[in-house]
């Protein structure tokens, strides 16, 4: 390298450049005039081997035109300094992803480009691996949700139809026995049995309804949510209101279920964390999107991405994303939290 670069300065530039962990180069007339050990090493050469090499030789064929053009853009002053990524060609033929930042300078009295290059191959690989693993995680979450819903539906059906049916027959038989018995002591026992049978029938119905809200299948989303809110208010003494005037959406069963579960989790959170006295659930559809807002007047939610082990909000967002939707939050009108779910009505 021309020592003139450091002329008049006490800083030992040559030492800095040669020991730098970043690759450095000087290109003139499309030819490497200087490369440091790091830059040459990235492509599998020694500095001596690379000095005098044509720029084109250092990059993969598909990047040659662009790389040479970028060189001339800097030389001509059109873009005196450019930062971009290119794909170098290693001596063994392997591609090497490089981020380069080059500027035009005068070298031996003529224009040249001096630049810094960093090997980002590993970084890109890790980025891709991370992306792929996020994708897999998403698929896994979607799969688990689907499986869970299917399993819940099946158990709910069996409980309702089979166990519920058996209990009802049992109750009818007990009633028949009751009609024939006249011993008071026997009547008392039969009375207890009847009571127990009725309680069992009710319990099975509640469990089955919890597992798979029948209203969702028979009456639609809005009615199912209305029933959910009513139960929520009974249990928690938090006033609730459904605003769904004119709401009429033809949603797939999977979408309706996802929306229902997200609202369910939101209400669980309100009961557990918000300290609210009122909840409003709004349902609306416009422009092919279903918009749901669940607003409470409690203490407010700090962040949608909590640290720690809680999975409620994460799984709500994941369910929304599964259908191309999103979950967001904003402060509620009366303090508290407003969760906003947006879901495309149909597959995009």
Ligand X SMILES: Nc1ncnc2c1ncn2[C@@H]1O[C@H](COP(=O)(O)OP(=O)(O)OP(=O)(O)O)[C@@H](O)[C@H]1O
- What residue 274 binds from Mg ion, ligand X, none (CB within 5 to 8 A, per partner kind)? ligand X
Pick 27 or 276: Cβ nearer ligand X: 276
Cβ-based burial of 25 (10 A; exposed 0-12, middle 13-18, buried ≥19): buried
Give me the residue label for tokens 């070298």. 107
Pick 306 or 331: Cβ nearer Mg ion: 306
The yes or no reply on residue 328 touching ligand X (CB under 6 A) is: no
Residue in the shown chain whose Cβ atom is closest to ligand X: 312
Give me the residue label for tokens 């040669």. 18
Residue 322 C-beta: closest distance to ligand X, Å: 17
The yes or no reply on residue 324 touching ligand X (CB under 6 A) is: no
The yes or no reply on residue 312 touching Mg ion (CB under 5 A) is: yes
What gap in Å lies between CA 297 and CA 299, rounded to an integer?
7
Piece of the chain touching ligand X by CB under 6 A; list 70-78, 83-91, 92-100, 268-276: 268-276
Pick 102 or 298: Cβ nearer ligand X: 298
Give me the residue label for tokens 């030789």. 57
The yes or no reply on residue 275 touching Mg ion (CB under 5 A) is: no
For the beta sheet containing 81-89, the strands, ordered from the edge strand earlier in sequence to the opposite edge, are: 31-35, 23-28, 110-119, 95-107, 81-89
Bridge partners of residue 294, in order along the sequence: 281, 339
What gap in Å lies between CA 318 and CA 181, rounded to an integer?
59
What gap in Å lies between CA 29 and CA 52, rounded to an integer?
10
The site that binds ligand X (CB under 6 A) totals a number of residues, namely 16
The yes or no reply on residue 164 touching ligand X (CB under 6 A) is: no
- What residue 262 binds from Mg ion, ligand X, none (CB within 5 to 8 A, per partner kind)? none
- What residue 41 binds from ligand X, Mg ion, none (CB within 5 to 8 A, per partner kind)? none
Bridge partners of residue 84, in order along the sequence: 100
Q: Give the residue, chosen from 269, 297, 329, 337, that forms a contact with Mg ion under the rule CB under 5 A.
A: 269
Give me the residue label for tokens 């928690």. 236
Residue 337 C-beta: closest distance to ligand X, Å: 4
For residues 307 and 330, is the Cβ–Cβ distance under 8 A? no
Three-state DSSP at 60 gives coil
Site string for ligand X, 284-323 (x = CB under 6 A): ------------x-xxxx----x---xxxx----------
Cβ-based burial of 35 (10 A; exposed 0-12, middle 13-18, buried ≥19): buried
Q: Which stretches of the chain bind ligand X, using CB under 6 A? A: 269-270, 272-274, 296, 298-301, 306, 310-313, 337
Q: Which stretches of the chain bind Mg ion, using CB under 5 A? A: 269, 312
């Amino acid at each position: 390298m021309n020592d003139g670069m450091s002329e008049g300065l006490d800083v030992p530039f040559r030492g800095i450049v040669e020991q730098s962990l970043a690759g450095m180069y000087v290109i003139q007339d499309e030819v490497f005039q200087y490369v440091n050990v790091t830059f040459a090493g990235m492509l599998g050469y020694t500095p001596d081997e690379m000095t005098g090499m044509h720029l084109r030789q250092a990059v993969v064929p598909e990047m040659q035109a662009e790389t040479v053009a970028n060189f001339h853009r800097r030389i001509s002053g059109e873009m005196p300094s450019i930062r971009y990524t290119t794909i170098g060609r290693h001596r063994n033929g392997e591609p090497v992803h490089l981020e380069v930042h080059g500027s035009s300078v005068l070298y031996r009295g003529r224009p040249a480009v001096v630049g810094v290059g960093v090997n980002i191959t590993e970084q890109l690989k890790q980025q891709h691996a991370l992306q792929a693993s996020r994708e897999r995680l998403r698929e896994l979450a979607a799969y688990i949700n689907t499986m869970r819903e299917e399993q819940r539906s099946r158990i709910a059906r069996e409980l309702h139809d089979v166990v519920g049916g058996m209990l009802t027959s049992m109750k009818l038989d007990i009633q028949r026995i009751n009609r024939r018995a006249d011993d008071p002591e026997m009547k008392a026992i039969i009375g207890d049995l009847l009571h127990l049978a009725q309680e069992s029938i009710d319990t099975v119905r509640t469990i089955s309804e919890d597992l798979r809200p029948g209203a969702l299948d028979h009456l639609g989303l809005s009615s199912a949510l209305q029933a959910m809110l009513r139960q929520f208010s009974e249990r928690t003494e938090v006033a609730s209101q459904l605003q769904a005037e004119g709401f009429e959406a033809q949603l797939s069963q999977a979408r309706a279920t996802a929306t229902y579960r997200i609202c369910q989790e939101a209400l669980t959170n309100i009961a557990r964390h918000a300290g609210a006295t009122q909840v409003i659930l709004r349902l609306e559809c416009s422009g092919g999107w279903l918009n749901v807002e669940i607003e409470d007047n409690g203490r407010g939610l700090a962040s949608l991405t909590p640290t720690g082990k809680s999975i409620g909000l994460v799984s709500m967002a994941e369910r929304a994303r599964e259908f191309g939707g999103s979950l967001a939050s904003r402060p509620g009108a009366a303090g508290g939290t407003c969760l906003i779910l947006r879901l495309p009505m149909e597959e995009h």
